[in-house]
A and B are shown apart, each in its own frame.
Chain A
Amino acid sequence: MAIATASQTIGPYWHLLEDPSWADLTRFGATGEKITLTGAVLDGDGKPCADACVEIWQSNPPTSDSFPGFGRSNTDSQGTFRFTTVKPGPVAGRGNAQQAPHIALCILSRGLMKALVTRAYFQGEALNDADPLLTSIEEPARRATLIARRAGAGVWRMNVRLQGENETVFLDV
């Protein structure tokens, strides 16, 4: 059996790859409830990470020619990422479980030797109370780090705190 290749940091110069249009998952004509998912990536001192690469993946709505399900955003001088996408619906879980609507996030940056994975759920979704991941996080304050809050019409905001106070729950997948 071979063993998976080791990860190395994405470093500060990954923008050579960047196509800013990738942050808009509706650019191929997706229909559905269009939303903005935004937030800031902050370090252990609460300072913005201005050179991060944030990627999102959602399995709902299903990918199609008009919806790639995947997006990539840089972070600006305030550490802010910003995606335009379609609000996901519920997603099948393991066994008979149902997962609340969510978007997976992958944080890559200088100073991260490998990706950090987390999720954005949506404030006020009834299914949040029964979601297998959310209910497995005992401390309400920790659980809250995965909940995007309404920040205007169609705008959802969730900061990603890499370290320290209010550190985001990162996932071992």
Chain B
Amino acid sequence: MADTTGFRPYTPGTQPPYDAPAYMGTVKRHPKQRLHPLPQTVTETTGPSFSPDRFPPLTDLTNTNGKPAIGERIIVAGTITDEDGRPVPNTMVEIWQANATGRYDHAADQHDAPLDPNFHGAGRVFTDANGRYRFLTIRPGAYPWGNHRNAWRPNHIHFSYFGPAFATRLITQMYFPGDPLLAFDPIFHAVPDEHARNRLIAAFDLDITEQDYALGYRFDVVLRGRNATPMEH
């Protein structure tokens, strides 16, 4: 019956709205009609599962063909839990990011900053039985974008999570503590609740940091929790 237990609604204010006008990209892409309520069914309470056999992990983004990427090596690690604090085990996490100069290895990114042939900028990791994950990467650079005059995205790493169900799918971005650009970023600020927003900022963590090797950052993520009782059946 576990699969048919629904997921509870998101806490008001802790998720960004679709209509976030300071982020220009939302102006023509947000729905104007209210979302239509859909009581969850098996379509929403189940979801894909991915196995490392078929989807091989790539947890070290700092080397391509054995050649080191340029930039500051960092370790990013943390735990994925649900809203009841239960670890989310064996779930696939995807990441992608700009290189140390603030350039994506992507045809649409025309920022005048060098690409790094030894840094592609995408990875995949599975959580362990306790919901923990860890990967090694390069600290991404800031880059300009056309949203408003002198707009720069703060340093960030994109994350994609699946969790146990279609209803727990989450895409977010991890930011870095002390970044002065956060104050001006409309994407970060689209999250109304200050506490929820600040949880997108990773914490520097000396326990994750490795001696003579790389600084460590902790980024813990919480996926939607299940309702207390199963749906009527």
Contact = CB atoms under 8 A, between A and B. Distances in A.
Interface in B66-87: 81-85
Interface stretch (A32-40, A150-158, A165-173): A165-173
B149 interface: no
A166 B225 CA distance: 34
A102 interface: yes
Interface stretch (B42-50, B176-184, B206-214): B42-50
B22 to A, nearest CB: 11
A132 B40 CA distance: 11
A126 interface: no
Interface string A141-165: 0100000000000000000001110
Contacts of A49: 29
Secondary structure class of chain A's binding surface, majority of residues? loop
B31 A163 contact: yes
A58 B44 CA distance: 9
A130 B120 CA distance: 49
| Count class of interface residues, chain A | 35 or more
B232 to A, nearest CB: 6
Nearest to A50: B108
A93 to B, nearest CB: 5
A108 interface: yes
Interface string A43-63: 111010101000101110001
Interface string B213-233: 000000001111100000111
Contact of B25 (A9, A58, A167, A169): A9
Contacts, number: 215
Interface in B146-203: 158, 160, 166-167, 169-173, 187-188, 190-191, 193, 196-197, 199-200
B48 A6 contact: no
Interface in B54-99: 81-85, 94, 96, 98
Given A7-B171, A70-B48, A94 B232 contact: yes
Contacts of B106: 12-13, 15-16
Contacts of A113: 16-18, 20, 23, 26, 187, 190
Given A8-B188, A162-B28, 7 more contacts: A2-B82, A8-B172, A13-B108, A17-B96, A59-B42, A92-B41, A164-B32
Interface of A: 1-17, 43-45, 47, 49, 51, 55, 57-59, 63, 68-70, 91-95, 99, 102, 104, 106, 108-117, 119, 132-133, 136-137, 142, 162-164, 167-173
